[in-house]
Amino acid sequence: MEETPLEAAQSFAAPGKRKINKRFIYLFVALVIIFVVFFGSRFLGQDKTQDINDVPAVTTPTEMPTSTAELSPSGSPTPSPTSTPTPKPTINPVDKSTGLNRNKLSVTVQNGSGIVGVGGKASDALKNLGYNVVSTGNADNYDFVNVSIQVKAASSEFLALLKKDLAESYTIGSNSADLSTSFSSDALVIIGK
């Protein structure tokens, strides 16, 4: 029997086609699903995680707010007063016993101990009492043992008050009312060791 061309074409497979491996298809589909799950939610705006820069700053309140309404025995809210922060009392710079206003005396504080921060600490203490501290710096040497106080003759009435105020925290060494009139402030306080 003779073969017809149609029968010959049916018996031969196409030489260029390959079978696609099913494992490759499953791996590809799995990778697409993983990509969509992890990265797709970010692009769709459903990402629940926050960047550290997106987190708002947390502030700590200085006073906890109180409730503005409380329940009465009948179950209805009754208004209650809200608390307001109490301002810190300011220290009165006027001395009660002498009547001298500490704010009227300009003071220069110098560190004569060589220990870092001693002058600043004394300066802060005097400011808290109401003195007008105009400058803080280092003394010409670090050989001072106690506190040295000098005031101008025109401000000599402040010498006893300044001595009394500093004696609460420091040991007073020398004190005088002979500060040069050309000095930039009314008083010079040198803090020693």
Q: pLDDT by residue (tens digit) across 17-38?
A: 666 788 888 888 998 888 887 7
Contact 94, 101 (CB under 8 A): yes
Q: Which residue has the higher pLDDT, 68 or 118?
A: 118
pLDDT tens per residue, range 36-71: 877 776 666 554 554 444 445 544 444 444 444 455
Place of tokens 């109401």: 130
Helices (H), the chain: 5-11, 22-35, 41-43, 118-129, 159-167
Spatial distance between the Cα atoms of 146 and 144, rounded to a whole number of angstroms: 6
Mean local confidence (pLDDT), 98-127: 91
Q: In the chain, pLDDT over 70 holds for what percent of residues?
A: 64
Contacts of 47 (CB under 8 A, 6+ apart): 41
Spatial distance between the Cα atoms of 190 and 104, rounded to a whole number of angstroms: 20
pTM exceeding the 0.75 threshold for the entire prediction: no
Paired tokens of 93: 């710079």
Predicted local confidence at residue 94, as pLDDT: 83
Predicted local confidence at residue 13, as pLDDT: 52
In the chain the domains, ranked by start, together with CATH numbers, are: 102-191 (3.30.70)
Spatial distance between the Cα atoms of 114 and 138, rounded to a whole number of angstroms: 8
pLDDT tens per residue, range 68-101: 445 555 555 555 555 545 444 457 788 888 888 8
Q: In the chain, pLDDT over 90 holds for what percent of residues?
A: 34
Predicted local confidence at residue 21, as pLDDT: 80
Mean local confidence (pLDDT), 103-130: 91
Q: Are strands 147-152 and 187-191 parallel, antiparallel or unpaired?
A: antiparallel
Mean local confidence (pLDDT), 151-155: 92
